[in-house]
Structure 1
Amino acid sequence: MTVPTYLDIGHHITRIDTAMVHGGLAACYLLQADQACAIIETGTHNTVPVILALLEARGIELSQVKYVIPTHVHLDHAGGVGGLMAALPEATLLVHPRGARHMINPAKLKAGATAVYGEAQFAEIYGDIIPVDERRVRTMDDGDEATVGDRRLVFIDTPGHARHHFCVYDPTSRGIFTGDTFGLSYPPLTTANGPFICPTTTPVQFDPPALKASIRTLLALKPERIYLTHYGMVENPQPLGERLLTMVDDYVALAEAVAATSDGDAQEQALMTAMREYLFRCAREHGCEMSDEQLDAVLGLDIQLNSQGLAVWLQSRSR
């Protein structure tokens, strides 16, 4: 499936493919109102030229971008923050209070990612992480608001995936930019039954009760659409949210069953096997007719990350 780099999705919002790893994996968004703009999520440092090219193509002056807004500081969402801020002279970074220090001094983020990937692969996937001048940083607490032109954005604290996570409610579109709180839904898995959605438990702060509470907080707003980072806009989110709540419980039960029969390195491999079987079964019950190999191509990375996150969660419970 060919994924367009830019896609206008209504309400003066443009979905931007971040080109991270492959098309259709991660998105960020340009939101426009009057003569002002905001960038919500940034992708990686390698995404910065993609975003700037869109601004140039639309005739948007760099000074018109008022805010850069990552939902949290995981690098597929915030790796491009520093580079983008350097290119946007009038922009303010709006970030969760727990994430601000990592944007001002990203040394720990960079060291952690380099330790996982190695320097060469880190450079290929993420490029670099550039610090942001703290004078250009504004932290957003639960219920805080920011205005882009005549458009109001409301910030909602949503722990569960990460403690440094907020979501951004846009009353104009009746939509919410949900980062990873509302899970992920890749378009190739959409069937006649609608989008296939599932939670993401990326390491290291998965907290099932908090995540379920955050999902319920979002559903209480009765949004008409959700803007996912992974991947794109989905509509009619109420049944999707109910499905997510059930699946969070299923993930917990899966992890507890694995923990009862394995430990150490064997545990993570067992988690991956169980997660793969579970998600493949759910996808097929949803009407997906892909082969195992095709499902692996779409979900393989997330199966690995979900399993790692559940392994960390199991370890944290035993302390």
Structure 2
Amino acid sequence: MSTPHGIHTLDTGFVRPRFDAAYLLVEDGRAAFVDCGTNHAVPRLLDALAAAGLEPAQVDWLILTHVHLDHAGGAGELMARLPHAKLVVHPRGARHMVDPAQLWAGASAVYGEAVMESTYGRLRPVPAERVVEAPDGHVVELAGRALRCLHTPGHARHHLAVHDARANACFTGDTFGLSYREFDTARGPFILPTTSPVQFEPAALHASIDRLLALRPEAMYLTHYGRVEDLARLARDLHEQIDAMVAFARAAAGKPDRHAWLLDALADLYAGRAAAHGWSGGRKRLRELLDMDIELNAQGLEVWLERA
């Protein structure tokens, strides 16, 4: 699917359709990817490039919003097929692209080696000379089109968003939440925040959302999933839910069944808000669609609670 300003939304195929996006930006015969999904997404990304009439040698950049594997797991494999591209990443994430051993070990400790191999594929290093560390405000030039990298912590300390002034839009990774098309209603998109272990910081996430909104973009491009508008309302929804989630974490402190209690509280929160948004799928279907996100949000809140 393509949109104006040479922006193509690419479904990486991770988990289910329309769950995990990468983006292809095309400007005057040159291209950049924003995020890339897992190793299994690389053929899809190269097919999309060909469908846009471009060769791998015409890709100048792969910009990563952060190094979580659903966004960056395929970076090494993709870069190996893009002979002239440089990889742009937050300075805190750069070392994990050059040597992904720690990323692999951390995720394997949670999921196990077999699941990692089948879900993500073995992580491939990116040569250090091809990695560009992006300080806050760093501008990536794509055939004269300025793509500005803004540090947006809260979900992760190594997170950046990309402001595309030409398109008057931001590529937000996970900072501006999750909005799956299955929850769209006549009132527009439904949205929820993502905490994710292990670097959730609510004050920073509030500030990052406000920073992006202050740019007055007409759209945000989310990794999960796609283009959304009506941004003032969505930002308000995110702020309200972050506060509610933090309150749940504090209420859960000391409970012997803390994790299970948080799972139920989060499901109730999202189900109630989805129903008020006009979504009629019901709590059971919501749990099916958001199962992974509810689990990760509960874990992220628990890690934050222990650290705080």
TM over 0.5: yes
Task: Measure, in 2, the Cα distance between the counterparts of 1:231 and 1:56.
Answer: 23
Q: Percent identity?
A: 49
Tell me the alpha carbon deviations over residues 223-257 of structure 1, each in whole angstroms, 9 at most, x when there is no partner.
Answer: 10000000000012122112211111111111111
In structure 2, how many angstroms separate the alpha carbons of the residues matched to 1:174 and 1:238?
15
Aligned residue number for residue 139 of structure 1: 133
* Residue in structure 2 matching 1:55, options 49, 68, 81: 49
3-state SS of the aligned residue for 2:192?
Answer: coil
Provide the residue aligned with 2:249 in structure 1.
255
The equivalent of 2:263 in structure 1 is: 272
Equivalent position of 1:217 in the other structure = 211
AA aligned to 2:96 is: H
Which of 79, 87, 100 in structure 2 is aligned with 1:85?
Answer: 79
CA RMSD of aligned residues (A): 1.0
- Alignment partner for residue 34 of structure 2, among 20, 40, 53? 40
Task: Look up the match of 1:22.
Answer: 16
Task: State the partner residue of 2:198.
Answer: 204
Give the TM-score of the pair, scaled to structure 1: 0.95
Letter of the 1:89 partner, please give it.
Answer: P
Contact 1:92 1:136 (C-alpha < 8 Å) held by counterparts: yes
Question: What is the aligned counterpart of 2:107 among 113, 122, 125?
Answer: 113
Cross-structure match for 2:303: 312
In the TM superposition, residue 57 of structure 1 has moved relative to its aligned partner by 2.7
Is the 2:271–2:282 contact (alpha carbons within 8 Å) kept by the matching residues of 1? no
- The residue identity in structure 2 corresponding to 1:262 is K
Unaligned runs of 5+ in 1: 1-6
Local SS of the residue matching 2:91: coil
Q: CA deviation at 1:96?
A: 0.2
* In 2: Cα distance, 1:185 partner to 1:275 partner: 16
1:49 to partner: Cα distance: 1.0
The yes-or-no answer on 1:180 pairing with 2:171 is no
Partner of 1:126: 120
SS at match of 1:87: coil
Q: Any conservation in 2 of the 1:28–1:39 contact (CA below 8 Å)?
A: yes
Runs of 4+ in 1 over 3 A off after TM superposition: none
User: Does the CA-based 8 Å contact 1:222-1:238 persist in structure 2?
Assistant: no
Gaps of 5+ in 2: none
Q: Number of paired residues?
A: 308
Q: Which amino acid aligns with 2:75?
A: V
Determine helix, strand or coil for the equivalent of 2:80.
Answer: helix
